[in-house]
Amino acid sequence: TALRYLEQSLAILQQIGDRKGEGATLNNLATTALAKGDYDTALRYLEQSLAILQQIGDIYGMAATMANIGAMLFEQESYEEAIPILMQAYAILEKIGSPNVKYPLLYLGEIIRRIGEAKFEEIVSRMK
């Protein structure tokens, strides 16, 4: 299964010290857990991935992982938690000129649609 191969890949990457590959694989493991609805495991993998990517300074990887965390929080309808991390992911992706800037924007737009613009603005104002 995909999960087994990802776990084997992670073990090898850890053995050889490929931190970037380890961070990416943890992100892929999180995606697999999300597909099964296992949010706790997914969050654990995403947090591990984010920590590694921050340590090595992989800006794009950090933003992609943040977007995945935001997407997971969105799926759980934890909009107040999702908004700041999606906004942070958007800001990073926009700054580096990534075409993937659209993903956090899609989630933010859907949050606004679901909770209303006034509630969204209230949450954003509390972030400042």
Same domain, 98 and 44: no
Distance CA 90, CA 8 (A): 32
Same domain, 128 and 65: yes
pLDDT score of 73: 96
Same domain, 4 and 39: yes
Same domain, 3 and 21: yes
Q: How far is CA 10 from CA 2, 49, 51, 59, 60, in A?
A: 12, 11, 15, 21, 20
Same domain, 80 and 51: no
Same domain, 9 and 69: no
Same domain, 105 and 46: no
Same domain, 84 and 112: yes
Number of domains in the chain: 2
Its domain, for residue 77, covers: 60-128
In tens digits, the chain (128 residues) has pLDDT values of: 888 999 999 999 999 999 999 999 999 999 999 999 999 999 999 999 999 999 999 999 999 999 999 999 999 999 999 999 999 999 999 999 999 999 999 999 999 999 999 999 999 999 87
pTM of the model: 0.89
